[in-house]
Structure 1
């Protein structure tokens, strides 16, 4: 369809095509047009903050070229200006990173006024202009891109790193609302290397502001025997990396990351021991999730892993009734999928230590075996005996413990 105005493919689609990655979403900028021009061409207007239009055939998003001006602190304080006079270069200048500030013309040529192609070649994440500092969400977005492109060799440019540190020092990240922090956090958990999201936030000081429970783990020692990496902060990033290796489930990755929060509150006089850190971890997970308005499923799994990861690691030594207690506390019989997530997060914790990345974790098989045995107990004979209430619960627990004992004995 021939359009009476200029359109350009912009942003991630251009970046990913140049990187040789699959292009899934396509966004376009319209230059030299008014809302009435697009509506007259059959586009459907959507969006409340500024005019965005859906193409009548493809459904792709087309936005009028616009500029933004900072009017107040935080990320809501912007005045948006759009008109036929706004140029493509002006529109691209308001974007966050140079690699996202390129456009492609209909003939396939690339418009790159801010050096995005050079930064792609250098594997560099660099801000387009000083206006980056006007929106603290851009720190989170940059950290997320670092998590996405880490294995391709991308690093944060020194001047961008310095700018983010100044933003944090100026209190810009303090204006971020919990919902937006969680939105970017959850997206980052889905990226190939989510540990880089945490690392970038820590490097610029934002982690201490947004996730202080995590930030305080760095510099806290653990016993060198089971933890050759010693530093708890280093450990949890290694655990997150292993969780990403084992599963693409963001809930598993979230639980793995937060499992040791309680070690950050151990009195220094008790280091490197962390007696009772599991209970403190559960409490801290609860507070973090409440503050960021984290969905219930994420919170419940993270609490379960924080509470019982140590017990899971001892599964080969535990009695049948203790194995059953873990199964009951994780609500495995009603939520077997969550139990599978629990086992993955515990395995990530086991592997997330120096020298342990490829070591086997037979504890997961033992817990799964116990779970299957407990789940296989037939309740009908107990019903036929007329048992109810506490008597039924007690008899059922005993039957499940016996089933687990029999399964473990056969296995041994």
Structure 2
């Protein structure tokens, strides 16, 4: 029985890149042996165990055989005679097929260290094509390591494209698509995730609403030197880049990325129909409710935020109410951050976004209203709401006057 550290922990250690998770592989053992030593079985599809003290995951060395489509279409074989090299061969990338033994020696049967040095994301074997989730994983790794100069090997990109053409990518399940997308949005360069999916043709399969944006021409701001293509898809990616500079939160980056779907979905003027593209995308990839809600309000109201200083009191109050700013201040802050990212994508030389502070001052003024005093007047129900609205409008009017003066 031998223990090896494998995968991301070894890869990032060799890169000098921060890593928090450790994965272990056991060679020469069986489930009974593991349990006798106190390991806790947790694997459903194949033997995975938690260490009795560290609670880190230890998996028995295994091989796999394709039996159907998609991520779940495999059978696994675990036995004491499975070698480390056999286990590593089933992994996606050469840089993830490196192991370290208990003495610190590196085992690298598929030249992963060479690809780390050359900054290449390359598949280990043709078996890569059997699991469509790997398309998303490679795009995510490209987003993580882009700033270090990593690129996807041409032969790997070609294999990913072949998986799309063969229809294997159509068997991606929503939960896996969302898991990889959410993780990619949290990476250093999330726009690269979209670029790689588009380069191999998978974007049209996974996020068709976004893919269609690249064929929608838009007017290009001549001051925006970073926007190379005059289409809505490129604009969305520049917005995503700006959001990534402003916030590490995947939810804000997601909402910013989707904002052009409102304007360029090809639907009617009615906001319910215009936002259907966002609804459909979120439902298909199982995006959580809070992600969907923020994306919808950013798509519908970002233009009002840009023009906040010119809005009349009733329109400003409507903005606060429709975005639920009074009850959900954290989401409203994310909304304003997304609006700033969009504004910066229209003009990458923008020094600041004063509209955000202006709207926050308006909100604070409205929040200063004494609700108990309204209740003391004996007002309830609609009468209470009408009185509150009138006082809010008065506060907004006073704030606008003060700021203009």
Q: The TM-score by the shorter chain falls in which range?
A: over 0.9
Partner of 1:151: 147
Partner of 1:190: 186
Please tell me whether residue 243 in structure 1 is matched to residue 239 in structure 2: no
Q: Is the 8 A contact 2:256 2:338 kept in 1?
A: yes
Partner of 2:338: 345
Partner of 1:288: 281
* 1:224-243 equivalences in 2 (<5 Å): 224-225=220-221, 228=224, 229=227, 230-243=230-243
SS of the equivalent of 1:348 reads helix
Matching residue within 306, 325, 332 for 2:299: 306
Please tell me whether residue 129 in structure 1 is matched to residue 125 in structure 2: yes
RMSD over aligned Cα, in angstroms?
1.8
Q: What are the Cα deviations for residues 339-371 of structure 1, in whole angstroms up to 9, with x where unaligned?
A: 001001111111123x42543111111111111
Report how far residue 167 of structure 1 moved.
0.3
SS of the equivalent of 1:28 reads strand
Report how far residue 214 of structure 1 moved.
0.3
Partner of 1:22: 18
Describe the shift of the 1:265–1:209 C-alpha distance in structure 2 as closer, same or farther (beyond 3 A).
same
Please tell me whether residue 367 in structure 1 is matched to residue 359 in structure 2: yes
Gaps of 5+ in 2: none
Matching residue within 66, 75, 80 for 2:76: 80
Q: CA–CA distance in 1 between the matches of 2:270 and 2:104?
A: 57
Partner of 1:71: 67
* 1:2-401 equivalences in 2 (<5 Å): 5-225=1-221, 228=224, 229=227, 230-266=230-266, 276=269, 280-353=273-346, 355-356=347-348, 358-401=350-393
Q: Is the 8 A contact 1:351 1:358 kept in 2?
A: yes
Q: Is the 8 A contact 1:289 1:299 kept in 2?
A: yes
Query: TM-score, normalising length from structure 2?
Result: 0.95
Q: Is the 8 A contact 1:261 1:280 kept in 2?
A: no
Q: CA–CA distance in 1 between the matches of 2:43 and 2:196?
A: 32
Report how far residue 291 of structure 1 moved.
2.1
Q: Is the 8 A contact 1:144 1:188 kept in 2?
A: yes
Describe the shift of the 1:280–1:241 C-alpha distance in structure 2 as closer, same or farther (beyond 3 A).
farther
SS of the equivalent of 2:330 reads helix
SS of the equivalent of 2:4 reads strand
Q: CA–CA distance in 2 between the matches of 1:386 and 1:38?
A: 71
Q: Is the 8 A contact 1:95 1:101 kept in 2?
A: yes
Report how far residue 277 of structure 1 moved.
9.1
Report how far residue 43 of structure 1 moved.
1.7
Count of equivalent residues: 400
Q: Is the 8 A contact 2:65 2:76 kept in 1?
A: yes
Q: CA–CA distance in 2 between the matches of 1:142 and 1:120?
A: 14
Q: What are the Cα deviations for residues 124-172 of structure 1, in whole angstroms up to 9, with x where unaligned?
A: 1110110000000000111111111111111111000000000000001
Q: CA–CA distance in 2 between the matches of 1:46 and 1:31?
A: 18
Q: CA–CA distance in 1 between the matches of 2:334 and 2:274?
A: 18
Q: Is the 8 A contact 2:265 2:277 kept in 1?
A: no
Q: What are the Cα deviations for residues 346-399 of structure 1, in whole angstroms up to 9, with x where unaligned?
A: 11111123x425431111111111111111111233222222232221221111
Report how far residue 225 of structure 1 moved.
4.0
Query: TM-score, normalising length from structure 1?
Result: 0.93
Report how far residue 402 of structure 1 moved.
1.2
SS of the equivalent of 1:59 reads coil
Q: CA–CA distance in 2 between the matches of 1:381 and 1:233?
A: 51
SS of the equivalent of 1:81 reads strand
Describe the shift of the 1:120–1:281 C-alpha distance in structure 2 as closer, same or farther (beyond 3 A).
farther
Gaps of 5+ in 1: 268-274
SS of the equivalent of 2:213 reads coil
Report how far residue 14 of structure 1 moved.
0.2
Q: CA–CA distance in 2 between the matches of 1:277 and 1:114?
A: 56
Partner of 1:271: none
Q: CA–CA distance in 1 between the matches of 2:254 and 2:270?
A: 18
Report how far residue 227 of structure 1 moved.
8.2
Q: Is the 8 A contact 2:262 2:300 kept in 1?
A: no
Q: CA–CA distance in 2 between the matches of 1:289 and 1:119?
A: 36
Q: What are the Cα deviations for residues 251-280 of structure 1, in whole angstroms up to 9, with x where unaligned?
A: 11111011111344349xxxxxxx949665
